[in-house]
């Protein structure tokens, strides 16, 4: 696993600072839909010309907008978002991984669901393991997979020691496992244990939280 270079923190911070003013954020929202002349921007924002000029200068200084002369009335210009305007506002790929390993204590529910969800979201290989593996996958986890049309292989829970290699990207999805293995993990997701509660809704809650987090992480991990 290694870090992938992305747009500098300083450049990203400058864009966020520029958008911290509500009128500039509103202006960028409008420009995602189409180009506007300064006079059209004044009307849209209900702002005087000097303030619109200031807003455009700020956005131009951080590389978010550009202005071009009209091909019709040469006295007019149009403001466009640059191709890189929104780059860096949401974190991009930050890591590379040869394989992702999800870890919980028993490897009977959360880590099994996470691995199955990862297979659906990413081509990066995945495995799961437990610090104290159970005898079988929890029935509630299997039932949740069926309810959500998720393919879950019928495998016996595995011990972490038998699964983990030195190059894996490790994600603990259980507080107990995270605190047990400590700094070995690359990420920790504090997901409540549905087995302890035992209800259908508890397993669905765990599934939905894992699905959300995996949906956010998968585009940010590149295959090594």
Look up the pTM and report it: 0.74
Whole-number pLDDT of residue 2? 45
Q: State both tokens at 14.
A: 């400058």
Tell me how far apart the alpha carbons of residues 27 and 44 are, in angstroms, rounded to a whole number. 8
Whole-number pLDDT of residue 5? 45
Contacts of 219 (CB under 8 A, 6+ apart): 93
Whole-number pLDDT of residue 58? 98
Tell me how far apart the alpha carbons of residues 27 and 187 are, in angstroms, rounded to a whole number. 36
pLDDT, averaged per 10 consecutive residues of the chain (224 residues), comes to 59 95 96 93 96 97 95 91 88 82 97 98 97 97 97 92 94 94 83 96 97 92 89
| Domain layout of the chain by residue ranges | 2-81, 95-223
DSSP one-letter code for 159: B
Neighbours of 167 (CB within 10 A): 10
Tell me how far apart the alpha carbons of residues 137 and 127 are, in angstroms, rounded to a whole number. 14
Candidates 3.20.20.150, 3.40.50.800, 1.10.10.10, 1.20.810.10; CATH matching 2-81 = 1.10.10.10
As separate numbers, helices (DSSP H) first and strands (DSSP E) second, the chain gives 10, 9
Tell me how far apart the alpha carbons of residues 148 and 207 are, in angstroms, rounded to a whole number. 9
CATH of domain 95-223: 3.40.50.2300
Whole-number pLDDT of residue 94? 65
Whole-number pLDDT of residue 4? 43
Phi and psi dihedrals of 115, rounded to 5? -65, -40
């Amino acid at each position: 696993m290694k870090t992938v270079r992305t747009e500098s923190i300083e450049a990203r911070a400058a864009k966020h600072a520029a958008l911290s003013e509500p009128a500039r954020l509103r202006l960028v929202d409008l420009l995602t839909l189409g180009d506007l002349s300064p006079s059209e921007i004044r009307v849209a924002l209900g702002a005087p010309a000097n303030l619109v000029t200031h807003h455009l200068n700020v956005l131009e200084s951080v590389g978010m907008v550009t202005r071009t002369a009209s091909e019709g009335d040469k006295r007019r210009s149009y403001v466009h978002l640059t191709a890189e305007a929104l780059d860096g506002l949401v974190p991009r790929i930050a890591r590379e991984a040869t394989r992702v390993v999800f870890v919980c204590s028993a490897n009977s529910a959360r880590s099994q669901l996470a691995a199955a969800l990862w297979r659906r979201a990413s081509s990066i290989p995945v495995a799961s393991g437990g610090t104290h593996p159970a005898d079988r996958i929890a029935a509630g986890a299997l039932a949740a997979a069926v309810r959500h049309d998720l393919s879950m292989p019928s495998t016996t829970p595995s011990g972490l020691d038998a699964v983990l290699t030195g190059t894996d990207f490790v994600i603990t999805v259980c507080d107990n496992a995270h605190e047990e293995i400590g700094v070995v993990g690359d990420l920790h997701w504090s997901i409540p244990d549905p087995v302890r509660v035992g209800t259908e809704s508890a397993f669905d809650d765990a599934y939905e939280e894992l699905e959300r987090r995996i949906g956010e992480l998968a585009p940010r991990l590149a295959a090594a």
